[in-house]
Structure 1
């Protein structure tokens, strides 16, 4: 079974390089080729990547940190438009897996977070209420992991409010002397640039280069290949946990 890794897409050259490196590291972990595609902004598109993969079963791994529009609607629709929904297994996305919490904490430490800093979680932004709830859950778990006395608020790089800059300002208005931002973002790009410009004292890097991300992507791909959803499951059969039949989502 072929493996297709789908990211959001960015015009930022560092973001594109990060995506290619992430695909290469995942391929090395799986010991099989991994084709890279983007859901938006840049190519190769899902259809273009599938054409390179060729006919046959394909495991599609959405490299997204929440199950918003692109995961629930856009990627399945692109698979349908390419005529590949029946033989595609779409795995669960990266987020909001608790397996990534240590990566968040590591990135914060690398950024120079200090004892007593107020901590904020920066998300990409989404109009999907369930996806916003997923990110809020990550913030709550991060606060527990860091043994923070106060809840970790969420700021958004786009779409939703408050913005990261607004959330930083609120923490300062509440008395925080220093603010550190944990980035619930996968790769460099416009959103990461906005987070860095938020006025925080310490801003963690995106997660893509962390070993936990590659490990989780590889596990998602292996689980999807083993499940075979959309390949062997009869029409109307329930999808096993963590994966779904692409044709059923369109």
Structure 2
């Protein structure tokens, strides 16, 4: 007996209702594109966990990490939750970034917040100590630089140097006319608040429920190589 795969979108988790609602909105948008339900799970702060969701599912399942790079949650936490569920027919896709789709969203968000050619740009990420995630973030900064036609500085809201506030200050010291922060965050929350308090002339909104984000997640589900039951 064959089963259509179940779809599980896994996010970090937040105490902010707006952040929780955003993940729900993303899952709904993806479910409309796929024509099937998308379950939501969280690795931290609140539940249900991926383990709890998977235990209630039959047949093959595809798990998409709603993370922008390969950090600890993607490489360690999510696989551990999957293993603990006892579900033996699960495939975990790559993280959402870096990818050309995310670069286009970043560019759109910059235009929305008033970016103009000649403005200095700081890519504000949450930050990570994971070397693979650091590589992903550097690549994303390079991709955005190529689209904008000017160097984009990479800085961090939590883990890593320079901080976004320090990067903004350094650019102003060097004589930058205007400094814009491009938010490389999925949703509003503490880290986005730190970007807003960085001293930049303008701060773009998080990636959020941009239509290209919904399409990217749906594509991750569609392109997953489905596991074969033993």
How far off is 1:10 after superposition? 1.0
Following superposition, the deviation at residue 172 of structure 1 comes to: 0.9
Q: Secondary structure at the match of 2:127?
A: coil
TM-score by length of 1: 0.87
Q: How far did residue 93 of structure 1 move?
A: 1.2
Question: Partner of 2:216 in structure 1?
Answer: 216
Q: Mapping of 1:121-200 within 5 angstroms?
A: 121-148=123-150, 151-200=151-200
Conserved 8 A contact 1:10-1:190: no
Q: CA deviation at 1:177?
A: 2.1
Cα distance in 2 for residues equivalent to 1:10 and 1:191 = 11
Q: How does 1:67-106 map to 2 (within 5 A)?
A: 67-84=70-87, 86-106=88-108
Shift of 1:48: 2.3
Q: Which residue of 2 aligns with 1:245?
A: none
CA–CA distance in 1 between the matches of 2:158 and 2:91? 30
Structure 2 unmatched runs, 5+: none
Deviation at 1:13, TM superposition (A): 1.4
> Does the 8 A contact of 2:55 with 2:86 survive in 1?
no
* Cα separation, 2, equivalents of 1:196 and 1:129: 27
- 8 A contact 1:65–1:93 mirrored in 2: yes
Deviations 1:175-210 (A, max 9, x none): 112100111111111111111111111111111211
Q: Once the two structures are superposed, what CA deviation does each residue of 1:123-149 show, in whole Å capped at 9, x if it has no partner? A: 11111012111111111111110111x
* 2:226 alignment partner in structure 1: 228
Q: Secondary structure of the equivalent of 1:154?
A: strand
- Which position in structure 2 is the counterpart of 1:37? 41
Instruction: Determine the C-alpha separation between the residues in 2 that align with 1:202 and 1:115.
Output: 14
Q: Secondary structure at the match of 1:137?
A: helix
Residue by residue over 1:45-79, the C-alpha shift from the partner in whole angstroms, topping out at 9 and shown as x without a partner, is 11222244x22211000011001111111100011
Measure the CA separation in 1 of the matches of 2:6 and 2:34.
11
CA contact (8 A) 1:37 1:44 kept: yes
Return the offset for 1:221: 0.3
Structure 1 residues without counterparts, runs of 5 or longer: 235-250
For these two proteins, the number of residue pairs brought into alignment is 226
Q: Distance in 2 between matches of 1:190 and 1:44?
A: 22
Q: Distance in 1 between matches of 2:55 and 2:201?
A: 46
Query: In 1, distance between residues paired with 2:118 and 2:99?
Result: 27
2:65 to 62, 65, 88: 62
Q: TM-score, normalised by structure 2?
A: 0.94
